[in-house]
Amino acid sequence: MSTAWRWLSRMLLLLLALISVLALIWGYGRLTSPTPKQREAVALMQARPPLPAGDNGFALLMALPVLPDAGAPPLPVCGDEASCIAVIESAPEQASAAIAARRDWLESGARALRAPAFRDLRAELTAAEALPPYQAMTQTRVLRAFDFAAGQTTAALAAACEDALGAVRRASDPDMLIDGMIGIAVFRQQSALIADMRQRAPADPLPAACLALANPPEPAVEGTLCPALRGEWHWLTRVMDDVNAHAASEAPAWAQAVAHDPEWMLARSAERFAPHCGDAARQAAREDRATALLTDDPRWVDHVAYPVSVVLDQIAMPAYSDYTERQLDFVAQRRLLAAFLQMDVMDAARTPAQRFEVLPETLRAGPRPLRFDASTGRLSVPLRGRSNGKDGGEAALSVLAPTPAL
């Protein structure tokens, strides 16, 4: 009996020692979090610029009425491979009825797209909170294409360029990543539409908004994910209570407090995002190099101090992997449209190939050179990001030689 009691005592002492060690590690992890690096990252994420004066595009979208579909034909569907103007010209009466029923809605979407500010100002959210009706912004090209096909060529071109400038603002200073990606998509749509309009009406004067798009982008401003990731971090601060409530919903409250800490997750997210907001990220964007998200594992003590938080952190990490390349693709597409518009206003006596050759070296060449195929009149730039499971491929605009004046 004494021998059994002696072994049992030893096992209990060993178990107590293990629990004590784990408690010490847990306490050390908690007392040393956030780390100095994380505190610096949190301060960097908190330093969000104030909203510019003027309309808030997010509020404009949230105030839109429900899309008025009843009794009207659907809007024309403009894919990436076909001319939106041609789609409308193929069924003008249907397009006219569809646009007439939704013109106010589409113009409201355009105002949101062009607004100087775009930010969700709601104080608290759930992760499933409804997003605004982004389609009101993404459908603006249908309205511009319809007006162009109806004969308002100069006004439609000016509006398309204003929409493209608005898309640049959405892409380079978004409220969240999804806003930036929508801005990039709208810019690509409007770029193709602008090029199509110039082919169809080359004699129309180039509006001021289009001339503004002929200025090359500044990669250090438009090519980093800093504004988008800073916005993502602020979004996390507002939904963290909801995330925390679902992190371990079947566990008792004391266990949740021991295994999970939303403040640690916010500090960890800030640490991951911070590299995109420094001088190194801006220089990388100038050189067309992607800045990687921080992928280092948490400290080993964090696995003990915050086991549930670490799992949630690792689940979230892969979701951001490709966005840096898409942002750099956006800068490349900005250069593509700028080159197209600069070539458009050059001496008509020059061939398209000659006009391409005299473009500024910084616009035509650089770390991701533009390409021009003289046999097809095709101006293009390769893309690297992945979308819908496919490689980026390339963005291309057709350049046609204007008819020489007689």
Higher-confidence position of 235 and 171: 171
Distance CA 43, CA 120 (A): 21
Among candidates 221, 227, 186, which has minimal Cα distance to 323? Answer: 227
Site of tokens 């006596």: 349
HSE at residue 353, side-chain half, CA atoms within 13 A, is 4
- Which of the four pLDDT bands, split at 50, 70 and 90, describes residue 391? low
HSE at residue 10, side-chain half, CA atoms within 13 A, is 6
pLDDT of res. 250:
46
- At 394, phi and psi to the nearest 5? -155, 160
Lookup: tokens for 10: 């030893």
pLDDT of res. 336:
98
Cβ-proximal residues to 356 (8 Å cutoff; 6+ apart), any chain = 339, 343, 364, 370, 372, 379, 399
Q: Helices then strands (H, E): number in the chain?
A: 20, 3
What is the pLDDT of the chain when averaged over all its residues? 86
Among candidates 123, 215, 231, which has minimal Cα distance to 173? Answer: 231
For residue range 82-100, list pLDDT tens digits in order.
899 999 999 999 999 999 9
Contacts from 289-296 at CB under 8 Å and sequence distance 24+? Answer: 289/367, 290/324, 290/325, 290/328, 290/384, 291/224, 291/225, 291/324, 292/324, 293/317, 293/320, 293/321, 293/324
For residue range 155-205, list pLDDT tens digits in order.
999 999 999 999 999 999 999 999 999 999 999 999 999 999 999 999 999
Strand order of the β-sheet with 371-373 is 371-373, 378-382, 394-398
Among candidates 144, 120, 151, which has minimal Cα distance to 56? Answer: 120
Strands 378-382 and 371-373: antiparallel
pLDDT of res. 406:
34
First-residue to last-residue Cα distance in the chain? 117
- Which of the four pLDDT bands, split at 50, 70 and 90, describes residue 358? very high
Q: Report CA-CA distances (Å) from 245 to 248, 251, 254, 307.
A: 7, 11, 13, 16
Q: Report CA-CA distances (Å) from 339 to 115, 140, 166.
A: 26, 24, 19
Evaluate if residue 299 carries a pLDDT over 90: no
pLDDT of res. 372:
96
- Which of the four pLDDT bands, split at 50, 70 and 90, describes residue 403? very low
Is residue 199 within 8 Å of 400, Cβ to Cβ?
Answer: yes
For residue range 248-297, list pLDDT tens digits in order.
454 556 566 777 788 888 999 999 999 999 999 999 999 999 998 777 78
- Which of the four pLDDT bands, split at 50, 70 and 90, describes residue 233? very high
Higher-confidence position of 402 and 194: 194
Site of tokens 């086991």: 307
Structural element, H or E, at residue 381: strand 378-382
Among candidates 80, 146, 140, 78, which has minimal Cα distance to 115? Answer: 140
Q: Report CA-CA distances (Å) from 359 to 128, 216, 223, 298, 365.
A: 48, 11, 22, 48, 9
Distance CA 313, CA 308 (A): 9
pLDDT of res. 300:
76
Distance CA 91, CA 319 (A): 41
Evaluate if residue 60 carries a pLDDT over 90: yes
Evaluate if residue 401 carries a pLDDT over 90: no
Estimate to the nearest angstrom the gap between the alpha carbon of 128 and the chain centroid.
Answer: 19
Lookup: tokens for 249: 């919903």
Lookup: tokens for 100: 């007439």
Burial class (CB in 10 A: 0-12, 13-18, 19+), 68: exposed
Q: What are the extents of the domains in the chain?
A: 2-48+227-324
Average pLDDT (41-46) is: 94
Is residue 291 within 8 Å of 276, Cβ to Cβ?
Answer: yes
Average pLDDT (310-323) is: 74
Task: Give me the torsion for CA of 18, 21, 25, 26, rounded to 10°.
Answer: 60
Lookup: tokens for 223: 């090519």
